[in-house]
Amino acid sequence: MNLWFRVIRVIMLALFRRRLGLLDESRLDFRVWPTDLDINIHMNNARYLALMDLGRLDLIVRTGMGRRVWRDKLQPVIGAALVRYRRPLAPFKPIRLRSRLLAWDDKWLFIEHRLESGDVLACHAVVKGMLVGGAGGVPPGDLARQLGFDQPSPPVPDWVSHWSEAESLLAKA
């Protein structure tokens, strides 16, 4: 299925689904279509990342961030991704994408994605991203407060901290 049809579907459904709290999990169901396949006749690595974009889009709309994005002409951007492909996804397999905001620091939001087929984890990823406008990145703590979340960030998991530190070193290379 063409990715743009999926984008439109996710936006339309998100507008009518229940609102999510900032730390709630989004769940989206898809199917592996022939247009998702690579030469090995399983889902292309890039398509996993494209579906994760849809998970973040659902989070943006359903947590209320979408209003701020639209009003302030912000762009959601990804700075880095850590992806672990665990199992191939065959044609026509039903899949579920689970996405959630794990934590944030002074600059980045850390978002976890899990692609599952039945009870089997096919792909696990974490991305660090932010909302960027004309004045630069929106501080995640400010964003959380504007969305009615007045608590500090949950602790960044150790494995995410180690990955983020390693990624920062790579950026300096």
Residues 133 and 71 sit within 8 Å (Cβ to Cβ): no
E strands, the chain, in order: 26-31, 75-85, 94-104, 109-117, 120-133, 136-137
The DSSP symbol for 35 reads G
Angle formed at CA 157 by CA 103 and CA 173, multiple of 5 degrees = 90
pLDDT at 24: 97
What Rg do the C-alpha atoms of the chain give, in angstroms?
Answer: 16
Residues 100 and 111 sit within 8 Å (Cβ to Cβ): yes
Residue range 97-129, pLDDT digits in tens: 999 999 999 999 999 999 999 999 999 999 999
User: Exposed, middle or buried by CB within 10 Å (0-12, 13-18, 19+), for 84?
Assistant: exposed
- Give dist(CA 143, CA 121) in Å, integer: 31
Q: Which residues of the chain have pLDDT under 50?
A: none
Name every residue whose Cβ is closer than 8 Å to that of residue 94 and which is 6 or more positions away in sequence. 29, 30, 31, 117, 118
The DSSP symbol for 44 reads -
- Give dist(CA 95, CA 32) in Å, integer: 7
pTM of full prediction above 0.85:
yes
pLDDT at 2: 74
Tally of structural domains, the chain: 1
CATH at 24: 3.10.129.10
Residues of 121-146 as b/e, b for ≥16 C-beta within 10 angstroms?
Answer: ebbbbbbbbbbeeeeebbebeebbee
Q: Which domain holds residue 7?
A: 3-172
